[in-house]
Protein backbone atom coordinates (compact mmCIF):
# COMPACT_ATOMS: atom_id res chain seq x y z
CA UNK A 1 0.00 0.00 0.00
CA UNK A 2 1.32 3.45 -0.93
CA UNK A 3 1.13 6.38 1.44
CA UNK A 4 1.52 10.06 0.59
CA UNK A 5 2.93 12.47 3.15
CA UNK A 6 1.41 15.95 3.25
CA UNK A 7 3.25 18.57 5.25
CA UNK A 8 1.31 21.64 6.32
CA UNK A 9 2.72 25.06 7.06
CA UNK A 10 0.61 25.80 10.12
CA UNK A 11 0.00 28.72 12.47
CA UNK A 12 -0.60 27.85 16.11
CA UNK A 13 -2.38 30.30 18.41
CA UNK A 14 -1.59 29.96 22.10
CA UNK A 15 -3.33 31.40 25.13
CA UNK A 16 -1.17 32.35 28.10
CA UNK A 17 -2.82 32.87 31.45
CA UNK A 18 -0.44 34.43 33.99
CA UNK A 19 -1.37 34.69 37.67
CA UNK A 20 -2.69 38.16 38.54
CA UNK A 21 -1.73 39.43 35.09
CA UNK A 22 2.05 39.25 35.54
CA UNK A 23 2.76 40.24 31.96
CA UNK A 24 5.01 43.16 32.93
CA UNK A 25 6.99 41.02 35.36
CA UNK A 26 7.53 38.35 32.72
CA UNK A 27 8.63 40.99 30.22
CA UNK A 28 11.06 42.45 32.76
CA UNK A 29 12.67 39.08 33.49
CA UNK A 30 12.79 38.18 29.79
CA UNK A 31 14.60 41.43 28.98
CA UNK A 32 17.21 40.81 31.67
CA UNK A 33 17.69 37.19 30.59
CA UNK A 34 18.02 38.18 26.92
CA UNK A 35 20.60 40.84 27.77
CA UNK A 36 22.60 38.36 29.83
CA UNK A 37 22.50 35.80 27.00
CA UNK A 38 23.95 38.39 24.62
CA UNK A 39 26.72 39.24 27.09
CA UNK A 40 27.51 35.56 27.56
CA UNK A 41 28.13 35.31 23.83
CA UNK A 42 30.48 38.30 24.09
CA UNK A 43 32.49 36.48 26.76
CA UNK A 44 32.49 33.25 24.76
CA UNK A 45 33.76 35.04 21.66
CA UNK A 46 36.39 36.88 23.71
CA UNK A 47 37.72 33.66 25.20
CA UNK A 48 37.86 32.06 21.76
CA UNK A 49 39.76 34.99 20.25
CA UNK A 50 42.18 35.17 23.18
CA UNK A 51 42.85 31.44 23.09
CA UNK A 52 43.58 31.57 19.35
CA UNK A 53 45.89 34.58 19.60
CA UNK A 54 47.89 33.17 22.50
CA UNK A 55 48.10 29.72 20.92
CA UNK A 56 49.54 31.22 17.73
CA UNK A 57 52.10 33.20 19.74
CA UNK A 58 53.20 30.16 21.72
CA UNK A 59 53.46 28.14 18.52
CA UNK A 60 55.92 30.73 17.20
CA UNK A 61 57.92 30.57 20.44
CA UNK A 62 58.06 26.75 20.48
CA UNK A 63 58.91 26.62 16.80
CA UNK A 64 62.04 28.70 17.41
CA UNK A 65 63.20 27.34 20.77
CA UNK A 66 62.50 23.62 20.27
CA UNK A 67 65.50 23.47 17.96
CA UNK A 68 67.77 23.96 21.00
CA UNK A 69 66.78 20.54 22.33
CA UNK A 70 67.83 18.94 19.04
CA UNK A 71 71.18 20.77 19.11
CA UNK A 72 71.84 19.55 22.67
CA UNK A 73 71.19 15.95 21.61
CA UNK A 74 73.32 16.32 18.47
CA UNK A 75 76.28 17.45 20.61
CA UNK A 76 75.91 14.39 22.84
CA UNK A 77 74.96 16.33 25.98
CA UNK A 78 72.58 15.00 28.62
CA UNK A 79 70.90 18.22 29.74
CA UNK A 80 67.79 20.30 29.16
CA UNK A 81 67.51 23.74 27.54
CA UNK A 82 66.66 25.22 30.95
CA UNK A 83 69.84 23.81 32.48
CA UNK A 84 71.93 25.16 29.63
CA UNK A 85 70.39 28.62 29.95
CA UNK A 86 70.86 28.60 33.75
CA UNK A 87 74.49 27.67 33.25
CA UNK A 88 74.89 30.59 30.85
CA UNK A 89 73.16 32.92 33.31
CA UNK A 90 75.48 31.78 36.10
CA UNK A 91 78.54 32.86 34.13
CA UNK A 92 79.81 29.43 33.12
CA UNK A 93 81.35 28.73 29.74
CA UNK A 94 78.82 28.83 26.93
CA UNK A 95 78.18 25.32 25.65
CA UNK A 96 78.51 24.70 21.89
CA UNK A 97 74.76 23.98 21.34
CA UNK A 98 73.72 27.18 23.17
CA UNK A 99 76.32 29.22 21.27
CA UNK A 100 75.16 27.79 17.95
CA UNK A 101 71.50 28.33 18.84
CA UNK A 102 71.87 31.94 19.96
CA UNK A 103 74.30 33.10 17.30
CA UNK A 104 73.26 31.07 14.24
CA UNK A 105 69.79 29.54 14.71
CA UNK A 106 68.01 32.30 16.58
CA UNK A 107 70.08 35.43 16.25
CA UNK A 108 69.24 38.97 17.29
CA UNK A 109 66.53 39.37 14.65
CA UNK A 110 64.92 36.09 15.70
CA UNK A 111 64.74 37.15 19.34
CA UNK A 112 63.19 40.48 18.40
CA UNK A 113 60.67 38.81 16.11
CA UNK A 114 59.58 36.24 18.72
CA UNK A 115 59.48 38.93 21.41
CA UNK A 116 57.24 41.08 19.24
CA UNK A 117 54.88 38.18 18.59
CA UNK A 118 54.61 36.98 22.21
CA UNK A 119 54.52 40.35 23.93
CA UNK A 120 52.21 41.72 21.23
CA UNK A 121 49.81 38.83 21.79
CA UNK A 122 49.89 39.52 25.54
CA UNK A 123 48.93 43.16 24.96
CA UNK A 124 46.14 42.13 22.58
CA UNK A 125 44.75 39.78 25.23
CA UNK A 126 44.79 42.58 27.76
CA UNK A 127 42.88 44.81 25.33
CA UNK A 128 40.26 42.11 24.72
CA UNK A 129 39.75 41.66 28.46
CA UNK A 130 39.55 45.37 29.24
CA UNK A 131 37.43 46.34 26.22
CA UNK A 132 35.08 43.35 25.98
CA UNK A 133 35.31 40.49 28.46
CA UNK A 134 35.53 42.43 31.71
CA UNK A 135 32.79 44.98 30.87
CA UNK A 136 30.49 42.13 29.80
CA UNK A 137 31.18 40.24 33.04
CA UNK A 138 30.54 43.37 35.11
CA UNK A 139 27.22 44.08 33.39
CA UNK A 140 26.19 40.45 33.90
CA UNK A 141 26.93 40.84 37.60
CA UNK A 142 24.81 44.00 37.68
CA UNK A 143 21.92 42.34 35.83
CA UNK A 144 22.06 39.32 38.12
CA UNK A 145 21.98 41.64 41.13
CA UNK A 146 18.74 43.14 39.81
CA UNK A 147 17.25 39.68 39.21
CA UNK A 148 18.32 38.65 42.70
CA UNK A 149 16.33 41.54 44.13
CA UNK A 150 13.32 40.65 41.99
CA UNK A 151 13.48 37.00 43.05
CA UNK A 152 13.06 38.09 46.67
CA UNK A 153 9.78 39.79 45.79
CA UNK A 154 8.01 36.44 45.91
CA UNK A 155 4.43 37.71 45.67
CA UNK A 156 5.12 39.21 42.24
CA UNK A 157 7.84 37.06 40.69
CA UNK A 158 7.56 33.59 42.19
CA UNK A 159 4.47 32.94 40.09
CA UNK A 160 6.47 33.25 36.86
CA UNK A 161 9.19 30.87 38.05
CA UNK A 162 11.90 33.23 39.31
CA UNK A 163 13.47 30.96 41.92
CA UNK A 164 15.46 32.79 44.62
CA UNK A 165 17.85 29.91 45.33
CA UNK A 166 18.79 29.42 41.68
CA UNK A 167 19.17 33.15 41.11
CA UNK A 168 21.40 33.45 44.20
CA UNK A 169 23.63 30.69 42.84
CA UNK A 170 23.85 32.34 39.43
CA UNK A 171 24.61 35.69 41.06
CA UNK A 172 27.48 34.17 43.02
CA UNK A 173 28.86 32.55 39.86
CA UNK A 174 28.83 35.92 38.09
CA UNK A 175 30.76 37.43 40.98
CA UNK A 176 33.28 34.60 40.96
CA UNK A 177 33.81 35.10 37.23
CA UNK A 178 34.83 38.70 37.88
CA UNK A 179 37.38 37.46 40.43
CA UNK A 180 38.69 34.97 37.89
CA UNK A 181 39.07 37.75 35.33
CA UNK A 182 41.21 39.68 37.82
CA UNK A 183 43.28 36.56 38.52
CA UNK A 184 43.80 35.99 34.81
CA UNK A 185 44.91 39.59 34.26
CA UNK A 186 47.51 39.26 37.01
CA UNK A 187 48.79 35.97 35.58
CA UNK A 188 48.87 37.38 32.05
CA UNK A 189 50.71 40.52 33.14
CA UNK A 190 53.27 38.48 35.06
CA UNK A 191 53.82 36.05 32.17
CA UNK A 192 54.26 38.81 29.59
CA UNK A 193 56.67 40.64 31.90
CA UNK A 194 58.78 37.52 32.39
CA UNK A 195 58.82 36.75 28.67
CA UNK A 196 59.96 40.30 27.95
CA UNK A 197 62.67 40.06 30.61
CA UNK A 198 63.83 36.70 29.20
CA UNK A 199 64.11 38.10 25.69
CA UNK A 200 66.04 41.15 26.95
CA UNK A 201 68.54 38.80 28.60
CA UNK A 202 68.90 36.76 25.41
CA UNK A 203 69.60 39.91 23.41
CA UNK A 204 72.30 40.82 25.94
CA UNK A 205 73.84 37.34 25.61
CA UNK A 206 73.84 37.46 21.80
CA UNK A 207 75.54 40.86 21.83
CA UNK A 208 78.22 39.56 24.16
CA UNK A 209 78.77 36.39 22.12
CA UNK A 210 79.13 38.49 18.98
CA UNK A 211 81.43 40.89 20.85
CA UNK A 212 79.15 43.81 20.09
CA UNK A 213 78.29 46.72 22.41
CA UNK A 214 75.15 46.17 24.50
CA UNK A 215 74.86 49.47 26.36
CA UNK A 216 71.70 50.50 24.51
CA UNK A 217 69.76 47.35 25.42
CA UNK A 218 67.02 47.31 28.04
CA UNK A 219 68.09 45.99 31.46
CA UNK A 220 66.98 42.59 32.69
CA UNK A 221 66.34 40.96 36.07
CA UNK A 222 68.35 37.79 36.73
CA UNK A 223 65.91 36.50 39.33
CA UNK A 224 63.03 36.76 36.86
CA UNK A 225 65.07 34.85 34.29
CA UNK A 226 65.52 32.03 36.82
CA UNK A 227 61.78 31.99 37.60
CA UNK A 228 60.96 31.95 33.89
CA UNK A 229 63.28 29.02 33.16
CA UNK A 230 61.97 27.01 36.11
CA UNK A 231 58.23 27.64 35.79
CA UNK A 232 57.36 29.14 32.39
CA UNK A 233 59.80 27.88 29.75
CA UNK A 234 57.95 24.59 29.22
CA UNK A 235 54.65 25.52 30.89
CA UNK A 236 51.80 27.79 29.81
CA UNK A 237 49.58 29.13 32.62
CA UNK A 238 47.86 31.56 30.24
CA UNK A 239 46.72 28.69 28.02
CA UNK A 240 45.54 26.79 31.09
CA UNK A 241 43.32 29.71 32.15
CA UNK A 242 41.80 30.03 28.68
CA UNK A 243 41.00 26.36 28.12
CA UNK A 244 39.06 23.70 29.97
CA UNK A 245 41.66 21.74 31.88
CA UNK A 246 41.46 18.51 33.85
CA UNK A 247 44.35 19.63 36.05
CA UNK A 248 43.26 21.81 38.97
CA UNK A 249 45.18 24.88 40.05
CA UNK A 250 46.66 24.41 43.48
CA UNK A 251 46.16 27.63 45.52
CA UNK A 252 48.40 28.45 48.45
CA UNK A 253 46.90 27.40 51.76
CA UNK A 254 47.00 30.92 53.24
CA UNK A 255 44.84 32.35 50.45
CA UNK A 256 42.44 29.40 50.64
CA UNK A 257 42.05 29.87 54.39
CA UNK A 258 41.31 33.58 54.01
CA UNK A 259 38.63 32.89 51.38
CA UNK A 260 36.99 30.35 53.70
CA UNK A 261 36.98 32.88 56.53
CA UNK A 262 35.26 35.42 54.29
CA UNK A 263 32.26 33.09 53.94
CA UNK A 264 31.16 34.15 57.43
CA UNK A 265 31.11 37.79 56.27
CA UNK A 266 29.03 37.20 53.13
CA UNK A 267 31.79 35.96 50.85
CA UNK A 268 31.48 33.27 48.18
CA UNK A 269 30.24 29.98 49.59
CA UNK A 270 32.06 28.11 46.79
CA UNK A 271 35.71 28.29 47.82
CA UNK A 272 36.84 25.81 45.16
CA UNK A 273 36.88 28.55 42.54
CA UNK A 274 40.57 29.06 43.41
CA UNK A 275 41.25 25.68 41.81
CA UNK A 276 39.41 26.49 38.57
CA UNK A 277 40.53 28.33 35.44
CA UNK A 278 38.78 31.24 33.75
CA UNK A 279 37.31 28.98 31.06
CA UNK A 280 36.03 26.51 33.64
CA UNK A 281 34.48 29.32 35.66
CA UNK A 282 32.72 30.66 32.59
CA UNK A 283 31.32 27.20 31.89
CA UNK A 284 29.96 26.92 35.44
CA UNK A 285 28.49 30.43 35.28
CA UNK A 286 26.73 29.66 32.00
CA UNK A 287 25.38 26.42 33.42
CA UNK A 288 23.99 28.18 36.49
CA UNK A 289 22.29 30.78 34.28
CA UNK A 290 20.66 28.11 32.14
CA UNK A 291 19.38 26.36 35.26
CA UNK A 292 18.02 29.61 36.73
CA UNK A 293 16.35 30.75 33.50
CA UNK A 294 14.93 27.32 32.74
CA UNK A 295 12.59 27.63 35.71
CA UNK A 296 10.58 30.60 34.31
CA UNK A 297 10.55 28.91 30.92
CA UNK A 298 9.16 25.71 32.42
CA UNK A 299 6.66 27.57 34.59
CA UNK A 300 5.30 29.66 31.72
CA UNK A 301 5.26 26.70 29.31
CA UNK A 302 2.87 24.86 31.63
CA UNK A 303 0.45 27.77 31.40
CA UNK A 304 0.43 27.90 27.58
CA UNK A 305 -2.63 26.33 25.98
CA UNK A 306 -3.11 25.85 22.26
CA UNK A 307 -6.39 27.60 21.39
CA UNK A 308 -6.42 27.32 17.63
CA UNK A 309 -4.59 25.74 14.69
CA UNK A 310 -4.67 27.44 11.32
CA UNK A 311 -3.27 25.56 8.28
CA UNK A 312 -1.77 27.96 5.75
CA UNK A 313 -0.62 25.84 2.83
CA UNK A 314 0.63 22.36 2.00
CA UNK A 315 4.21 21.41 1.19
CA UNK A 316 5.25 18.48 -1.02
CA UNK A 317 6.62 15.33 0.55
CA UNK A 318 10.14 16.19 -0.69
CA UNK A 319 10.25 18.99 1.89
CA UNK A 320 10.49 16.42 4.67
CA UNK A 321 14.21 15.99 4.04
CA UNK A 322 15.01 19.43 2.62
CA UNK A 323 15.02 22.69 4.53
CA UNK A 324 12.41 25.07 3.10
CA UNK A 325 12.68 28.82 3.64
CA UNK A 326 9.28 30.51 3.39
CA UNK A 327 9.01 34.30 3.87
CA UNK A 328 6.30 34.94 6.45
CA UNK A 329 5.24 37.85 8.65
CA UNK A 330 2.86 37.90 11.61
CA UNK A 331 1.47 40.84 13.58
CA UNK A 332 -1.73 42.30 15.02
CA UNK A 333 -3.29 45.75 15.41
CA UNK A 334 -5.97 47.29 17.57
CA UNK A 335 -9.10 47.78 15.53
CA UNK A 336 -10.04 51.44 15.88
CA UNK A 337 -13.64 50.94 14.74
CA UNK A 338 -14.43 48.69 17.71
CA UNK A 339 -12.00 49.90 20.33
CA UNK A 340 -14.43 49.27 23.20
CA UNK A 341 -16.88 46.42 22.96
CA UNK A 342 -18.17 46.52 26.47
CA UNK A 343 -18.24 49.28 29.03
CA UNK A 344 -17.87 46.75 31.83
CA UNK A 345 -15.04 44.67 30.36
CA UNK A 346 -13.25 47.46 28.44
CA UNK A 347 -12.12 44.84 25.93
CA UNK A 348 -10.51 45.89 22.67
CA UNK A 349 -10.90 44.38 19.26
CA UNK A 350 -7.76 43.15 17.50
CA UNK A 351 -7.04 42.42 13.87
CA UNK A 352 -4.21 39.98 13.27
CA UNK A 353 -2.49 39.43 9.92
CA UNK A 354 -0.45 36.48 8.64
CA UNK A 355 1.31 37.10 5.33
CA UNK A 356 3.25 34.33 3.61
CA UNK A 357 4.75 33.43 0.26
CA UNK A 358 3.45 30.24 -1.32
CA UNK A 359 6.35 28.06 -2.52
CA UNK A 360 6.46 27.42 -6.24
CA UNK A 361 6.35 23.65 -5.68
CA UNK A 362 3.44 23.82 -3.24
CA UNK A 363 0.88 21.06 -3.68
CA UNK A 364 -1.83 23.69 -4.02
CA UNK A 365 -0.68 24.36 -7.61
CA UNK A 366 -0.82 28.10 -7.04
CA UNK A 367 2.31 29.63 -8.52
CA UNK A 368 4.05 32.90 -7.61
CA UNK A 369 1.43 34.06 -5.11
CA UNK A 370 1.31 35.71 -1.72
CA UNK A 371 -1.27 34.58 0.80
CA UNK A 372 -2.72 36.88 3.47
CA UNK A 373 -5.08 35.79 6.21
CA UNK A 374 -6.65 38.11 8.74
CA UNK A 375 -9.03 37.62 11.62
CA UNK A 376 -10.86 39.91 13.95
CA UNK A 377 -10.48 38.96 17.60
CA UNK A 378 -13.23 40.07 19.99
CA UNK A 379 -10.88 40.76 22.88
CA UNK A 380 -8.06 38.66 24.31
CA UNK A 381 -9.95 37.06 27.17
CA UNK A 382 -9.84 33.39 28.13
CA UNK A 383 -12.93 32.61 26.09
CA UNK A 384 -12.62 30.27 23.14
CA UNK A 385 -10.82 32.00 20.30
CA UNK A 386 -12.55 29.83 17.73
CA UNK A 387 -15.91 31.22 18.85
CA UNK A 388 -14.79 34.87 18.77
CA UNK A 389 -12.72 35.06 15.59
CA UNK A 390 -13.77 35.60 12.00
CA UNK A 391 -11.28 34.41 9.39
CA UNK A 392 -10.69 36.03 5.98
CA UNK A 393 -8.04 35.37 3.36
CA UNK A 394 -6.86 36.61 -0.01
CA UNK A 395 -4.34 35.53 -2.65
CA UNK A 396 -2.13 38.09 -4.40
CA UNK A 397 -0.44 37.22 -7.67
CA UNK A 398 3.07 38.68 -7.95
CA UNK A 399 3.56 40.83 -11.08
CA UNK A 400 4.88 39.03 -14.15
CA UNK A 401 8.66 39.00 -14.38
CA UNK A 402 9.15 39.18 -10.60
CA UNK A 403 9.32 36.78 -7.70
CA UNK A 404 9.00 37.49 -3.97
CA UNK A 405 12.24 37.52 -1.97
CA UNK A 406 10.78 38.52 1.38
CA UNK A 407 7.79 40.32 2.86
CA UNK A 408 6.94 42.21 6.01
CA UNK A 409 3.89 43.77 7.59
CA UNK A 410 4.43 47.50 7.86
CA UNK A 411 2.04 49.99 9.41
CA UNK A 412 -1.59 49.18 10.14
CA UNK A 413 -3.11 47.60 7.09
CA UNK A 414 0.04 47.85 4.93
CA UNK A 415 2.28 45.06 3.63
CA UNK A 416 5.71 45.54 2.03
CA UNK A 417 6.78 43.02 -0.63
CA UNK A 418 10.43 42.74 -1.72
CA UNK A 419 10.53 41.59 -5.35
CA UNK A 420 13.38 40.54 -7.62
CA UNK A 421 13.36 40.34 -11.40
CA UNK A 422 12.91 36.73 -12.46
CA UNK A 423 14.67 37.06 -15.81
CA UNK A 424 18.03 38.14 -14.32
CA UNK A 425 21.09 36.39 -15.73
CA UNK A 426 22.38 35.79 -12.20
CA UNK A 427 21.38 36.56 -8.63
CA UNK A 428 23.78 39.53 -8.61
CA UNK A 429 22.38 41.17 -11.73
CA UNK A 430 19.07 42.77 -12.54
CA UNK A 431 16.85 45.11 -10.56
CA UNK A 432 14.28 44.77 -7.83
CA UNK A 433 11.58 46.79 -6.11
CA UNK A 434 9.59 47.20 -2.92
CA UNK A 435 5.82 47.22 -3.30
CA UNK A 436 3.60 48.62 -0.56
CA UNK A 437 0.14 47.04 -0.60
CA UNK A 438 -2.82 48.47 1.29
CA UNK A 439 -4.42 45.44 2.93
CA UNK A 440 -7.71 47.16 3.72
CA UNK A 441 -8.39 47.52 -0.01
CA UNK A 442 -7.86 43.85 -0.83
CA UNK A 443 -10.81 41.58 -1.75
CA UNK A 444 -10.70 39.33 1.31
CA UNK A 445 -12.90 36.23 1.18
CA UNK A 446 -14.64 35.00 4.31
CA UNK A 447 -13.50 31.51 5.29
CA UNK A 448 -15.94 29.32 7.24
CA UNK A 449 -14.35 27.37 10.09
CA UNK A 450 -15.28 24.21 11.95
CA UNK A 451 -13.53 21.99 14.45
CA UNK A 452 -11.50 20.19 11.77
CA UNK A 453 -7.95 21.35 11.07
CA UNK A 454 -8.34 21.02 7.29
CA UNK A 455 -11.44 23.18 7.06
CA UNK A 456 -10.00 25.39 4.36
CA UNK A 457 -7.24 25.38 1.81
CA UNK A 458 -5.83 27.78 -0.73
CA UNK A 459 -7.67 26.17 -3.61
CA UNK A 460 -10.83 27.82 -2.31
CA UNK A 461 -9.30 31.19 -3.25
CA UNK A 462 -8.22 30.36 -6.80
CA UNK A 463 -11.21 32.09 -8.33
CA UNK A 464 -10.62 35.33 -6.39
CA UNK A 465 -6.88 35.84 -6.93
CA UNK A 466 -5.95 39.52 -7.15
CA UNK A 467 -3.26 40.29 -9.70
CA UNK A 468 -0.83 42.95 -8.49
CA UNK A 469 0.44 45.45 -11.04
CA UNK A 470 3.40 47.78 -10.58
CA UNK A 471 1.52 50.76 -11.97
CA UNK A 472 -1.37 50.34 -9.53
CA UNK A 473 0.61 50.14 -6.27
CA UNK A 474 3.17 52.28 -4.48
CA UNK A 475 6.52 50.96 -5.69
CA UNK A 476 10.10 51.85 -4.76
CA UNK A 477 12.57 50.82 -7.46
CA UNK A 478 15.93 49.37 -6.38
CA UNK A 479 18.77 49.38 -8.94
CA UNK A 480 20.23 46.15 -7.55
CA UNK A 481 19.24 42.54 -7.15
CA UNK A 482 18.43 41.97 -3.46
CA UNK A 483 18.50 39.13 -0.97
CA UNK A 484 16.54 38.38 2.20
CA UNK A 485 15.91 39.56 4.84
CA UNK A 486 13.78 42.66 4.51
CA UNK A 487 13.95 44.81 7.66
CA UNK A 488 11.11 47.29 8.16
CA UNK A 489 10.60 49.77 11.00
CA UNK A 490 7.06 51.12 11.22
CA UNK A 491 7.96 53.65 13.94
CA UNK A 492 10.75 55.17 11.84
CA UNK A 493 9.09 54.64 8.47
CA UNK A 494 12.16 53.06 6.88
CA UNK A 495 13.14 49.78 5.25
CA UNK A 496 16.60 48.22 4.94
CA UNK A 497 17.39 45.78 2.16
CA UNK A 498 20.61 44.00 1.25
CA UNK A 499 21.87 43.88 -2.30
CA UNK A 500 23.38 40.66 -3.61
CA UNK A 501 26.70 42.53 -3.96
CA UNK A 502 26.99 43.01 -0.18
CA UNK A 503 25.52 46.48 -0.16
CA UNK A 504 22.96 47.82 2.33
CA UNK A 505 20.27 50.21 1.14
CA UNK A 506 18.00 52.19 3.46
CA UNK A 507 14.74 53.60 2.08
CA UNK A 508 12.29 56.08 3.58
CA UNK A 509 9.04 54.36 2.70
CA UNK A 510 6.72 57.34 3.16
CA UNK A 511 8.74 59.75 1.02
CA UNK A 512 9.06 60.23 -2.71
CA UNK A 513 11.07 57.99 -4.99
CA UNK A 514 14.20 60.18 -4.88
CA UNK A 515 14.59 60.00 -1.10
CA UNK A 516 16.94 57.04 -0.73
CA UNK A 517 20.14 56.49 1.24
CA UNK A 518 22.68 53.87 0.21
CA UNK A 519 25.49 52.65 2.45
CA UNK A 520 28.10 50.01 1.91
pLDDT in tens, 253-303: 777 777 777 776 777 777 778 888 999 999 999 999 999 989 888 888 787
Confidence category of residue 172, pLDDT binned at 50, 70, 90: very high
Residue 263 lies in a domain: no
User: pLDDT band at residue 12, thresholds of 50, 70 and 90?
Assistant: confident
Tell me which residue of 300, 308, 253, 297 sits closest to 275, measured CA to CA.
253
Are 206 and 338 in a shared domain?
no
Residues with Cβ within 8 Å of 209's Cβ and at least 6 positions away in sequence, in order, are 94, 99, 102, 103
For residue 54, being part of any structural domain is answered with yes
Positive or negative, the Cα torsion across 494, 498, 499, 501? positive
Residue 256 domain-assigned?
Answer: no
At residue 63, does pLDDT exceed 60?
A: yes
Neighbouring CB atoms inside 10 A of 274's CB total: 19
Spatial neighbors of 86 by CB under 8 A, at least 6 apart, are 226, 229
Query: What is the per-residue pLDDT across 93-146, written as a single tens digit (0 to 9) for each?
Result: 788 999 999 999 999 999 999 999 999 999 999 999 999 999 999 999 999 999
What is the H or E stretch that residue 475 is in? strand 474-478
Q: What contacts 93, CB < 8 A, 6 or more positions away?
A: none
Taking the C-alpha atoms of residue 401 and residue 482, their distance in angstroms, rounded to an integer, is: 15
User: Which is more confidently placed, 419 or 388?
Assistant: 419
Q: Which of 129, 388, 402 is nearest to 282 (CA)?
A: 129
Q: What percent of the chain has pLDDT over 70?
A: 82
271 inside domain = no
Give residue 71's pLDDT: 93
Decide if 420 is inside a domain: yes
Q: Which residue, of 235, 265, 299, is where some domain finishes?
A: 299
pLDDT for 448 equals 74
User: What pLDDT is attached to residue 274?
Assistant: 80
Judge whether residue 3 has pLDDT over 50. Answer: no
pLDDT digits (tens, 9 = 90+) for 214-246: 778 888 999 999 999 999 999 999 999 998 876
Residues 206 and 108 sit within 8 Å (Cβ to Cβ): yes
Q: What is the pLDDT of residue 26?
A: 84
Assess whether 285 and 314 both reside in one domain. no
**Domain limit, last residue, from 299, 334, 369:** 299
Position 377 scores a pLDDT of: 67
Report whether pLDDT(443) > 60: yes
pLDDT over threshold 80, residue 59: yes
pLDDT of residue 378: 57
Instruction: Compute CA distances 203 → 12, 115, 141, whole Å.
Output: 72, 10, 45
Which residue range(s) make up the domain with 190? 23-247+278-299
519, 506 contact by CB (below 8 A): yes
- 395 with 373: CB under 8 angstroms? no
Q: Band of the pLDDT at 484, cuts 50, 70, 90? A: confident
pLDDT at 434: 92
Tally of domains in the chain: 2
In the predicted model, what is the mean pLDDT of residues 31-53?
A: 95
Q: In this structure, are 289 and 324 located in the same domain? A: no
Which residue did the predictor score with more confidence, 152 or 93? 152
Of 237, 264, 299, the position where a domain reaches its end is 299
Residue 7: is its pLDDT beyond 60? no
**Number of Cβ atoms within 10 Å of the Cβ of 141:** 16
95, 127: one domain: yes
356 and 282 co-located in one domain:
no
Residue 146 is predicted with a pLDDT of 92
CB 432 within 8 A of CB 403: no
Higher pLDDT: 497 or 323? It is 497
Query: What φ, ψ does residue 429 adopt, rounded to 5°?
Result: -110, 175
pLDDT at 247: 62
Q: Which residue in 435, 174, 424 sits closest to 288, CA to CA?
A: 174
Q: Which of the pair, 392 or 227, is modelled with greater confidence? A: 227
Average pLDDT along the chain: 82
Gap between the Cα atoms of 253 and 222, Å rounded: 28
User: How far is the C-alpha of 97 from the C-alpha of 514, rounded, in Å?
Assistant: 75
Structure confidence by residue, pLDDT tens digits, 316-372: 555 554 556 778 888 777 765 544 444 344 455 677 888 888 876 555 567 788 888
Domain check: are 374 and 477 in the same one? yes
* Pair (332, 475) in one structural domain: yes
285 and 328 in a single domain? The answer is no
Domain-embedded: residue 494 = yes
Q: Is residue 328 part of a domain?
A: yes
Name the nearest CA neighbour of 357 among 412, 310, 315, 308: 315
Q: Bigger pLDDT: 180 or 392?
A: 180
Q: How confident is the model at residue 58 (pLDDT cuts 50, 70, 90)?
A: very high
- Helix residue ranges per DSSP H, 276-367: 278-302
Are 241 and 359 within one domain?
A: no
Q: Which of 264-268, 302-306, 308-312, 403-407 has the highest mean pLDDT?
A: 403-407
CA Rg value for the chain: 34
Residue 389 has pLDDT above 70, yes or no: no
211 and 311 inside one domain: no
Residues 360 and 389 in one domain: yes
Q: Kindly state whether residues 126 and 238 are assigned to the same domain.
A: yes
What is the predicted pLDDT for the residue at 213?
A: 84
Strands 466-467 and 494-499: unpaired
Whether residue 252 is contained in a domain is answered as no
Amino acid sequence: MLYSLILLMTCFIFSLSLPHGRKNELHQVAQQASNIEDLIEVIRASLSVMSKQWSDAMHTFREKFDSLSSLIIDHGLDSSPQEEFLSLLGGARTSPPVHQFLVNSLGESGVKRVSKVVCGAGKELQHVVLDHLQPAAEIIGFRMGELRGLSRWRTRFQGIGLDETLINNATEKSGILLVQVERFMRVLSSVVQQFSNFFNWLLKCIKLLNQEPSDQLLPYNSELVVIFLKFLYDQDPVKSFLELSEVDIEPDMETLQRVKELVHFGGFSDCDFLRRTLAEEFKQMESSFKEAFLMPFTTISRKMLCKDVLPLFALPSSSASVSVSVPISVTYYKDASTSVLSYQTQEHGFMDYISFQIPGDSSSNIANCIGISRRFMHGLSNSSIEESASLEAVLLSVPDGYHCVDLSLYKEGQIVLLLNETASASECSGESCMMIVQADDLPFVSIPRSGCINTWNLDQLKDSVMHLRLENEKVRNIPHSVVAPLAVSASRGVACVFAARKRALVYILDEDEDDVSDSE
